[in-house]
Amino acid sequence: MTPRKKKGETPSTDRTRDLEIALEEEKSLSRARNTLLESNIKELNDVYVALNDKLKVLRNRDERIKSFEAQLVRANKLSSLGELAGSIAHEIKNPLIAIQGFAKRIAKTRDLEKVRGYAELIDKEAGRLANVLVKLLDFSRMDEPRREEFDLNDIVEDTVLFMEHHLTRFKGVNVEVLRNSEPVMVSIDRIHIQQALVNLINNAAQAMPKGGTIRISAGTEDGFGFISVTDEGGGIDEEIMERIFEPFFTTKPKGEGTGLGLSLSRKLLETNKGSL
């Protein structure tokens, strides 16, 4: 706005007035700016407080979800422990009843030949019990993996070397290790992986009563290390495929398999952040 010039005003008072007006305008502009800034700051502050409140609610919810998850994991473990306890009781009860029966028969007979026969049967049933208990001990020991960097190629070779003598009892069964040209480095508990591998090699050998070759190799896929074990047996029937990881599921004759090998191996790999 240009101020109207009054009569008799000199150019110099004119300029002073103009300046005064400009200063006044500037001041009022600055006041307006300040008010705007203050209201902006207040608004921002309100937003900050509201966001902080939201964050608190979210953090709270996050903590509740986490503790709920922990409860679920625990409940899950307990329920599978319950299931396992049921199967264990069943698995131990049968040989115990048999042992009791044979002991009673021994007490009643004077025939030494029969006594020997019963004693043999008792020995066999006790062996079955011991087998189950040894594998159960493996279950209970596996909690804390001691992870270190290893080349899976070495683990395969060492395990096969360790099993060489044991495998001679399977007639016509050969083992071929196909060593990968590249190292397959993984962070694992060596004992855990060897234990699982022993179970898989045993299954492979047992699956070939007429003999054949077990092929074992290590490699990398999508950044993950793996071990592959193949055999030339009859394979696994579709109907039982879903059940093979159940503790105590076995198709082997009574006293030959505990049915714990695969469930134990899977657990071993899972505690090492792997899978079977």
Ligand X SMILES: Nc1ncnc2c1ncn2[C@@H]1O[C@H](COP(=O)(O)OP(=O)(O)OP(=O)(O)O)[C@@H](O)[C@H]1O
Where helices occur in the chain by DSSP H, the ranges are 11-108, 112-141, 152-167, 190-206, 238-241, 261-271
- Which C-beta is closer to ligand X: that of 16 or that of 251? 251
Say which DSSP state 22 is in. Answer: H
- Which C-beta is closer to ligand X: that of 102 or that of 125? 125
Q: What is 60-75 written as a DSSP string?
A: HHHHHHHHHHHHHHHH
Report the nearest approach of ligand X to the CB of residue 66 (Å). Answer: 34
Report the nearest approach of Mg ion to the CB of residue 241 (Å). Answer: 15
Region 202-261 residues binding Mg ion, contact defined as CB under 5 A: 203, 261
Report the nearest approach of ligand X to the CB of residue 265 (Å). Answer: 7
Report the nearest approach of ligand X to the CB of residue 226 (Å). Answer: 17
- Which C-beta is closer to ligand X: that of 65 or that of 191? 191
Report the nearest approach of Mg ion to the CB of residue 150 (Å). Answer: 24
- Which C-beta is closer to Mg ion: that of 96 or that of 137? 137
- State the binding partner of 252 from Mg ion, ligand X, none, CB within 5 to 8 A by kind: ligand X
**C-alpha torsion sign, points 85, 86, 91, 97:** positive
- Which C-beta is closer to Mg ion: that of 3 or that of 255? 255
- State the binding partner of 247 from Mg ion, ligand X, none, CB within 5 to 8 A by kind: none
- State the binding partner of 271 from ligand X, Mg ion, none, CB within 5 to 8 A by kind: none
Q: What is 70-135 written as a DSSP string?
A: HHHHHHHHHHHHHHHHHHHHHHHHHHHHHHHHHHHHHHH---HHHHHHHHHHHHHHHHHHHHHHHH
Backbone angles phi, psi at 140, to 5 degrees: -75, -20
Binding positions for ligand X, rule: CB under 6 A: 199, 203-204, 207, 231, 233, 235-236, 244, 249-252, 257-263
Q: Which stretch binds Mg ion (CB under 5 A): 19-27, 51-59, 100-108, 199-207?
A: 199-207
Does 195 engage in binding with Mg ion (CB under 5 A)?
no
Please count the other Cβ atoms lying within 10 Å of the Cβ belonging to residue 79.
Answer: 10
Helix/strand/coil for 152: helix
Backbone angles phi, psi at 148, to 5 degrees: -145, 165
Report the nearest approach of Mg ion to the CB of residue 248 (Å). Answer: 11
Residues contacting residue 95 through CB under 8 Å, at least 6 positions apart? 125, 126, 128, 129
Per CB under 5 A, residues contacting Mg ion are 203, 261
